[in-house]
Amino acid sequence: MILALGAAGLLAVLTGVRFALAAAVLRRPEPVYDRDSGPVTILQAVLSGDPTLAGNLRENLANQPDARFVWLIDASDAEGWRIADDLAPTAGGRVEVIGVPPVPQGHNPKVFKLVTGLPRCGDLVAVLDDDTVLPPGALRRAVQALASGDLVTGIPVYRPGHGIWSRLIAAFVNGNALLTYLPPLAYAPPVTINGMFYLTRRSVLESLGGFAAIEDRLCDDHELAKLYRAAGRRIVQTAITHPLSTTVPSFGAYVQLMRRWLVFANRLLGQSLTLPTLGLVVIPSLLPLVAIALSVVFGSPLALAAALGTLLLKAIALAVLRHRVAAAGCPAGDRPADDRPAAIGAEIVAELAADLLLPLHALTTLVRPRRIRWRDKEIDTKGGGVAYRSGSAPDRAPGSAPGCGREWRG
């Protein structure tokens, strides 16, 4: 019983410390500079398959009217080209669409596209995943923050999707992002970045070897952060939130996505685990299920109530904090509208479930720990590289793909 109460108490203390550190970081003023830094080119590696893709691309075009877009699409991706053909002509010449040949063996599929797109960019380059939306004003805030560093990154916030699996993915990210990215900033600079959105200068990136320097590495976001840190360049982790929309159609897809993320996390922790990270990230991720299991095994209703109460308060506080952070960065007319009690209540329930399932997902990474599935590709991650399993990489000859060699400005 003492062990159960101790686990529940430790969970409560660590949760409180994480919130206190995150709040301290959020109170820091954002930099404000008056000078114009020039236009931004947004690089997007586009791959069809998710029904939200067209809506996400359309929303970014509307939200960032002063930015240029470079869409990098697999030459064989007929649906991706159809979407680009529909949307690019509406952008007033701000979109350039480039067909990319099949990714070679040993190359990161996303970075392979970014290597192709970088020469088409101006000096300010933003990388934005195709399932991610930048709210109005977010790019301006990132440019302002770049004046105090060399690479700026934000914090992902998932929009609740349709179906239980999409909601559980959203709950996992929303229940962890703010308390993972922000607390370490209270005592140390960031060691990695959020690869879903970041902004840098092309001149700085090319001085470090460009995207080609990490083209053969699996965890592109962490490898890019290592590249910048090794060169003495400064990474700026901001509180800029950017929503994501991902459709997770089945239990299998949900498990595969969680497994991929946690394999990446294991690699990061293996390279940069510190005592504060252990106490603020790793242990709090495992404690919820451990505390509840111990309270059941030892028959302690008090410990069970303490653990569940801590998780409930965490989910409520995070829901409120997320909505406040998102609203603070948006113009009044674009603030998040779905702050109804019912919507927040659904988020809270999903986050409770996600907290309890996380240790079980972590266990799945112990089985074939070097193998993941990344969209349509099965990858062996031995040594941090990229090796496509037989039959999982595109085998179409470049000349036979419908979009190969095609590029245009819309």
Instruction: Please report, for the chain, the start and end positions of each structural domain, with discontinuous segments joined by +.
Output: 2-25+39-373
Q: Which CATH class is domain 2-25+39-373?
A: alpha beta
Specify the pLDDT at position 33: 62
* pLDDT for res 407: 54
Looking at residue 1, its pLDDT comes to 75
Report the alpha-carbon distance of residue 19 to residue 64 in Å, rounded.
32
Rama region for 137: left / alpha / beta (φ>0; ψ in -120 to 50; rest)? left
pLDDT of 347: 82
Return the pLDDT at 403.
45
Mean pLDDT in order along the chain per 10 residues (410 residues): 88 93 87 70 96 95 96 96 96 95 90 97 97 94 93 92 90 92 90 95 98 93 95 95 91 92 86 84 92 91 93 90 73 48 77 93 83 75 72 41 46
Beta strands in 234-390 (DSSP E): 235-244, 371-374, 377-380, 387-388
What is this structure's pTM?
A: 0.88
* Structure letter (DSSP) for residue 185: G
Task: State how far the Cα of 264 lies from the Cα of 345, in Å rounded to an integer.
Answer: 30
CB burial class (10 A; 0-12, 13-18, 19+) of residue 29? exposed
Compute the distance between CA of residue 135 and CA of residue 150 in angstroms, rounded to an integer: 22
pLDDT at 340: 60
Look up residue 230 and give its two tokens.
Answer: 């090794």
CA 89 to centroid of chain Cα atoms: 29
